[in-house]
Amino acid sequence: MHDDDLEPAALIDPRLDDRFDAALAAIEARESERAASRAMWHAHHWAEDYDRCVVVGGRPFCRRCFTLYPIALVLAIAGLAGAVLWPARLDLWFIWLLSVPATVEFVLEQLGVVRYSARRQVAVTMLLAPALGSGFAHELDDSWAWEFWGPVLVLSTIWFLAALGGRRRRNR
């Protein structure tokens, strides 16, 4: 019997198949992780939390950001053009007060006090958007405006600590 008479599969070491399968699985896992991390910049969530996203063109986008930023930018531009949402003397009050519902909702949801609700998230985000838009307008008009940076620094710290606390709680 010559080597030419053997089946091609008989010439291959069976351990090679196992190594190939393991290498292929590792490549697929790395690619899946790369795809998830690429999506993170617009989704802000891992795949298991994509229920918190809207899908546009097959890509997940954070529902909160998808609601917040377009409205806030339109209102910021309108504010710079002279449109008034409320009296200027009440601006700082409205910026802070309209930020409270979204902050409370985020904190309670992160800490597991309330379950995630897309409708509630969109509703409180629509309240937050005019506050952010007004803050954007102040920042674009005058760099380092307190009307923008005050709420951003205080509220983002609260949101960060709530997310951190929620993550620790879930990992216990």
Instruction: Read off the pLDDT of each residue in 39-54 and give the average, rounded to a whole number.
Output: 84
The C-alpha atoms of residue 105 and residue 114 are separated, in whole angstroms, by 8
Q: What average pLDDT does range 43-47 have in this prediction?
A: 81
* 78 and 20 both lie in a single domain: no
The pTM (predicted TM-score) of the whole model is 0.77
Clarify whether residues 84 and 123 are in a common domain: yes
**How many of the other CB atoms lie within 10 Å of CB of 68?**
20
Instruction: Please provide the size of the chain in residues.
Output: 172
For the CA atoms of the chain, what is the radius of gyration?
Answer: 25
| Closest among 111, 85, 109, 125 to 166, alpha carbons compared | 111
Specify whether 107 is located in the same domain as 163.
yes
Same-domain check for residues 88 and 165: yes
- Residue pair 116/107 in contact (Cβ under 8 Å)? The answer is no
Number of domains the chain contains: 2
What is the C-alpha to C-alpha distance for residues 166 and 23, in angstroms, rounded to an integer? 36
Q: Are residues 14 and 93 in the same domain?
A: no
Mean pLDDT of the chain: 88
